[in-house]
Every structure is written in C-alpha cells, then in structure tokens.
Structure 1
Amino acid sequence: MNLMMEREKILQSALAGDINAFQTLFAEFQNQLKSYLYRLLTDRNDVNDLAHDTFIKAYTKISTFNQESSLKTWVFKIATNLAYDHLRKSKRWQTDAQDRAANLAIGSEEIRKVFWMVHDTSPAGAYEMREHIDYCFTCISKTLPIEKQVALILRNIYDFQVKEICLILDKTEGVIKHLLNDAKNTMTDIFEHRCALVNQNGVCHQCSHINEIFNPKQNQQEELMKLELVKASKKYNREQLFELRTLLAKAIDPLNAAGTDFHEEIMRCLRTAIGEIDFFDRSEDKT
C-alpha cells in the first residue's frame, strides 16, 4: 500500500470516529498549529489550552468535515475561531508596546532578576538576535486588527494559499487580498521607523542592546552581519526587507527555540506594561 492510500485509509478511520487515527493526522501539523496560536495569543498556557480545545472540537465535529479543503485548513479554521473568541475583549497593541516594556524592565530590579535567572538557568534561556527579530515580528503583528493579523501570518509565515485563507476567515478572495495588502503595508511602515538594525533612524535598539547585556563577550558587529537582513539593508527597499523579515520568522518556531523561555519572560513584561497581565502573577502557569 502506497503512502497516499495509507493516509486515505487513516482519514477514513478518523471520519468514522477513530480517535487514534484522528490523532495521527492531527500530529502532522500540531507543532505548526501551536506556533500559529502563539503568534496570536502570546501566552504558552493559552496556546496549550486552545490547542487542546481545537483537538476536542475538531474530533467531535469530524463528521462535518466535507473534504472541500485539507484537514489542516479545516482544523486551522476551528483554531482561529477559538482564538477570535479568546481575544475578543483584548485591545490591539500600540506601536510603542515594546518601548513601554523596556521602560518597565529598566525600572524594575525584580523583573531584571527574573530575566537573568531564566537566561542563566533555563536550557531555553539563550538570547539570539534572529529570535528577537521574530519576537518583534509577532509584537508588531499584534498592532493589526485581528483579521489582518491572521491573514498575514497564515499567508506569509505558514504558506497558506489565498483560497485556503478564504475558507478559514470565511471571506471572499478580494477581501483576503485587501487584508493582506493592508497588513503588509502597515507592518512595513512600522518596521521602517522602528527597527534600528536596518534603519539607524529607528527607535528600537532592543536586539543589539539586549544581546550586549546577555552576551557581553560576543562581537556585536560580527553577530549583526551574520543576519542576511542586516547585510541586505543597504541595498534592498523596505518591501524587500519586509520579505526578509518574514523569511526569518518562518524559520523560527517561537515555542521551540534556543531562547523560548527567555522571550516568554520578555513577552510577560510587555503584556504587563500594556496592562494585560501582572508579571509576577503565575497563578495560571501550568506545571
């Protein structure tokens, strides 16, 4: 039996209610689904909860899957709707959210101690510039209206086709193309004025500054020049630089990277600075 026939057999078993068969298919894109949810929710606990809820809802509704799309697209639609419900009362982030987080960290010795502890003791506590650029991509995407953020992330980071995004968002092709164009233009404008790595008139120096703090023996210029984004900054226009940023973000799994734990703390600091959570309230943390 060839691979295609075997997969069809598993799908038919899943459609008949076999949870093990469904788990096998779900596992094929589970890590990507969680990564996608993290870019929307920016909280690992929420990601785990919604990924679990997505699995349960998709399995219980599997009889309604009519195979007009891939199973992955259908499941991502369920996950997106759950994320919408979760984020419904949340406000869009402002473009100065990272500045507010930096000011909070600078003014709080307790928060800085947490950063140092995670950096020194966690196996995922490293600081890498390319990972921080991905972190910035997530933060800046959060300034978009949710539909524009979803469309852009699905298309540019996870390579969904426009017709698939139409199904996920229940929009026409024209609307999706409009959302994508607006989202890209907005993020390009924000990056042009903020990212000091490729625009020395920018105001965000987090990448090089934090790297200097946590990797003091590292040659800053050498590390910067390892990034294609920086090397290309003098010859590419702003649209091309945006494409390079998306390529870098696509290559990083924000939940399974060298600095995942470290960036989780930075994200908690940011969300505290904008009033979403309390940095020191770990009551919802899962063990």
Structure 2
Amino acid sequence: MTKEELTTTFEEIKGSLKSYILRVTASIQDAEDIVQDTYVKALEKIDTFRGDSSLKTWIFAISFNLAKDNLRVKKRWTENVTDICKEAAMSNRPFFQKAMEIRTTSPQGQFEIKEHIAFCFTCVSKSLPLEQHVCLLLKEVYEFKVKEIARITEISEAMVKYYLHTGRSKMVDVFQGRCALIHKEGVCHQCTELNGIFNPQQKAEEELVKIEMARKAESADKEHLFDLRMNIVKGIDPFESDAAELQLHHLEHNREVMEKYLEKNKD
C-alpha cells in the first residue's frame, strides 16, 4: 500500500466518512477535525495495513477510535431532544434571523421535509447508547456488513448483532411514538411546522407527496416505515444537500442547547 493509493481511496470516501462523524458527534467542527486527523493517522500507520479488511473499513476504524474517547465522556441526548430544542428555538430570535437569512440567500438554504427527516434521525439517534448508535449508523446508513462493523468498532460480531437489534428496535419505537408525520398520535410536528415557516406558500401536504414514507404511513408497519426513513437518510449528504447550510445551522443550535441542558440536569 502506497501513500498515493491511500490518498486516492481517502478522497473517494471522505464525504461519507465526514457525514458519518457528523451524525455520530452532531458537531461540524468535530467532524472536520476528526476527518483530518484520520487522514494524518492513516498515513502514519500505513505500514500496519495488512489487507485483511478493505481500506475503507480500516480508515473508518481509525476514525472511530479517534472519536470514541471524546464521545464516551459526553452524556447521551434524550429522546425528547426535538421538544427541548424547539422550546429553546422559540425564544432565540438570532437563531431564526440567521435561518431566514440562509433560507433567502444561500444555494444550500432550501427546506424540504425529507431533509428534516434525516436531520431528525441525527438528533434522536444520539439518545441511543454509543455502541448501538454507531452500529446502527454503520449498518443502516453506510451499509457495512456485520463483520466489517466488528472490525471498525473492535466489538465481537455477536455483540454487533445484539447492538443492531436493540438499537433498531429502540429507534423504531421512538419514531412510531413521536413522529406525527408517520403516526397520527405522534407528538412531534416539527417537519410540517418548519415547512410552514420556510415555505409559507407551500402546503405541507404538497411536500409530503414526494416522500414514499408519508404515502405508506397508513398501510405499512412500523418496521417498514423505519426502513423507508433510512432510505431517506442514506440519500442525503448533510454537507452537500440543497438544504445543507440551513440544516447544519439548525444542528449547531441543537447541539449547543443539549450541551447546556445536560449540564444543567446532570446528576
């Protein structure tokens, strides 16, 4: 393995690696720093690569190890993160002013409900224990196999399967109970509310017809609806989508709110 081959592969997967770290940390700065540190570390350790996994898997393993210690010392978010952050946003005039500026001036300032579905998953999935969160992302969004996830996380394949089962079951239940978009009794209406703020001339129903998940909400079971949600998440790069700047602004707000909330409510 040469440095040139490593660099070529790294550039090919850099986008997915960066989006993965963003979804794990919910921090733009952490994502950028960890991706850069991963490349430096990979160059330093290039002689240790033996080819017993793909180079992509090896690079993701380095990235996970760099992020792991930082993540373990931070408290996990709560399932009602959207409620907490919505309440904080309602009294945060600068947040909305900046959001509206992005919406009207940025080429990445569009608001679409499918983009917010992916954003919502990023926030809510941070309520899972770290191992469940990481395994679920690697399998459901980045399509790694169980054997590859075991290498990345240094967890046995049996435990990876366990974390995938428990993590998926938890997220299926959370979305079934909270998301008003797919469950009439759900308490979270953020998708449709934000559509009303950023697309005042467009009815939420018009936006929803684009989303297979919404069309099947009445007939599909909650497992299938979760799979449809994951298909949406897989199709969106949070740094490159048409809504990237708007949603990243929103994510930074939520991260700051949750850090303050968890500090205030720590044991």
C-alpha RMSD of matched pairs (Å): 1.3
Counterpart residue number, 1:172:
156
Counterpart residue number, 1:198:
182
Task: Find 1:238's aligned residue among 196, 218, 222.
Answer: 222
Q: CA deviation at 1:276?
A: 5.0
Describe the superposition over 1:148-169 as per-residue Cα deviations: whole angstroms up to 9, x where unpaired.
Answer: 1110000000110001011111
Paired residue type of 2:251:
M
Q: CA deviation at 1:200?
A: 1.3
Counterpart residue number, 2:79:
95
* Matching of residue 86 in structure 1 with residue 70 in structure 2: yes
3-state secondary structure, aligned to 2:51: coil
* Partners of 1:158 and 1:53 in 2: CA distance: 21
Spell out structure 1 runs of 4+ moving beyond 4 A.
none
Q: CA deviation at 1:140?
A: 1.3
* Partners of 2:103 and 2:43 in 1: CA distance: 39
Paired residue type of 2:35:
A
| 8 Å CA contact 2:112, 2:207 repeated in 1 | no
> Normalized against structure 1, the TM-score is what?
0.88
Task: Find 1:182's aligned residue among 159, 166, 176.
Answer: 166
| 8 Å CA contact 1:104, 1:269 repeated in 2 | no
Task: Find 1:121's aligned residue among 105, 110, 119.
Answer: 105
* Partners of 2:19 and 2:239 in 1: CA distance: 6
* Partners of 2:257 and 2:40 in 1: CA distance: 34
Counterpart residue number, 1:251:
235
1:34-183 equivalent positions in 2, closer than 5 A: 34-183=18-167
Aligned length: 261
* Partners of 1:28 and 1:188 in 2: CA distance: 32
3-state secondary structure, aligned to 1:275: helix
| 8 Å CA contact 1:166, 1:173 repeated in 2 | yes
Of the two, which has the highest radius of gyration? 1
Q: CA deviation at 1:119?
A: 1.4
Cα distance change, pair 218–99 in 1 and its aligned pair in 2 (3 A): same
Q: CA deviation at 1:123?
A: 1.7
* Partners of 2:204 and 2:10 in 1: CA distance: 42
Describe the superposition over 1:18-75 as per-residue Cα deviations: whole angstroms up to 9, x where unpaired.
Answer: x333211211211111111111111222111110000000110011111110000001
| 8 Å CA contact 1:142, 1:149 repeated in 2 | yes
Name stretches of at least 5 consecutive residues in structure 2 with no aligned partner: 262-267
Name stretches of at least 5 consecutive residues in structure 1 with no aligned partner: 1-11, 278-287
* Partners of 2:81 and 2:123 in 1: CA distance: 8
Counterpart residue number, 1:209:
193
Counterpart residue number, 1:26:
10
| 8 Å CA contact 2:57, 2:152 repeated in 1 | yes
What percentage of residue pairs aligned between the two structures are identical?
39
* Partners of 1:75 and 1:158 in 2: CA distance: 14
Counterpart residue number, 1:9:
none
3-state secondary structure, aligned to 1:274: helix
